[in-house]
């Protein structure tokens, strides 16, 4: 999906914040912005800034006002660069209980970022409408069956336990997606419910993350929507040294190029800036 085609409509205000869920949003033919809400004490990007439920709900409301199409809530830090501290189902649930139901009431589609089927089930019961699995249905054996039973969209992300600079990362992502799609098919997940995410920063060297964005169009062979989450990731720091909260420019640059290379959704911490960038790009393209 070329940048000229996918961002042209981004300059137009949304007429309906929930036009038929994710399928309806994708039909708008413009890049969608997924706002990140980490209700964890150890996120690499915001360091527990929104662990307080009130702060989290206020921030979610702000992202909705700024134009987020989807709000992605996670209560277990995935820490793509190592040091992830797994939490129990009870702890993850306790972090979500005071936040997720209130965020659902904002009227923006909510995605639950979890690798645990019981957490996903609870979130869907509360009104979440998308499951975002950073292990692509390959970690919790119950996840695929849950997604199939609930008939909800699922984001299938590539991941590795460790980065390996010696591998062909595009081939590795392709093989991972093939395995995930086979799991999904056997579970009965409709193919049109699946979004693919190459997992920028997860089990990859910075150079491999750059490669995945540069060669993103190759993943279009699956015929499924693509999501890129380059926001504040470490590969930006290798190009221009910067702390996570100083990587807005690099994040936007990566997301604009990702859209040009085929991304339908970008996952961003800095929603207002990302929405503005897409709208300005659309206005420039429309002026040709």
Indicate which residues carry an active-site annotation: 233, 267
Report helix, strand or coil for 113: strand
Which residue blocks in 232-270 are alpha helix, DSSP H?
Answer: 234-239, 248-260
Reduce the DSSP state of residue 38 to 3 states and report it.
strand
Written as one string, the DSSP assignment of 154-185 is EEEE---SS--TTS-HHHHHHHHHHHHHHHHH
Q: What share of the chain is helix, strand, coil (3-state, %, to 5)?
A: 45, 15, 40
Residue 162 is encoded by which pair of tokens? 């460790």
**Other CB atoms within 10 A of residue 47 CB:** 15
In the 8-state DSSP scheme, what is residue 131? E
Q: Which helix (H) or strand (E) holds 186?
A: helix 169-187
**Residue 73 in tokens:** 């809530």
């Amino acid at each position: 999906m070329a940048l000229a085609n996918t961002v042209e409509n981004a300059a137009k205000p949304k007429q309906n914040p929930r036009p038929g869920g994710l399928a309806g949003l994708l039909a708008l033919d413009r890049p969608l912005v997924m706002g990140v809400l980490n209700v964890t004490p150890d996120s690499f990007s915001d360091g527990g800034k929104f662990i307080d439920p009130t702060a989290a709900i206020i921030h979610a409301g702000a992202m909705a006002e700024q134009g987020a199409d989807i709000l992605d809530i996670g209560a277990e830090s995935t820490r793509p660069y190592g040091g992830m501290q797994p939490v129990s189902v009870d702890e993850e649930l306790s972090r979500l209980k005071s936040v997720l139901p209130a965020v659902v009431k904002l009227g923006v589609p909510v995605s639950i970022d979890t690798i645990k089927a019981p957490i996903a089930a609870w979130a869907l019961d509360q009104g979440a409408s998308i499951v975002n699995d950073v292990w692509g249905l390959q970690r919790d054996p119950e996840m695929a069956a849950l997604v199939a039973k609930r008939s909800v969209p699922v984001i299938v992300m590539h991941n590795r336990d460790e980065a390996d600079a010696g591998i062909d990362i595009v081939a590795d992502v392709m093989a991972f997606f093939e395995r995930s799609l086979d799991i999904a098919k056997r579970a009965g997940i409709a193919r049109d419910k699946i979004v693919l995410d190459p997992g920028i920063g997860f089990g990859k060297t910075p150079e491999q993350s750059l490669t995945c964005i540069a060669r993103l169009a190759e993943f279009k062979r699956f015929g499924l929507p693509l999501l890129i989450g380059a926001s504040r990731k470490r590969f930006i720091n290798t190009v221009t040294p910067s702390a996570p909260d100083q990587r807005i420019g690099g994040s936007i640059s990566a997301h604009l190029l990702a859209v040009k290379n085929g991304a339908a959704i970008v996952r961003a911490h800095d929603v207002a800036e990302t929405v503005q960038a897409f709208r300005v790009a659309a206005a420039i393209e429309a002026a040709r």
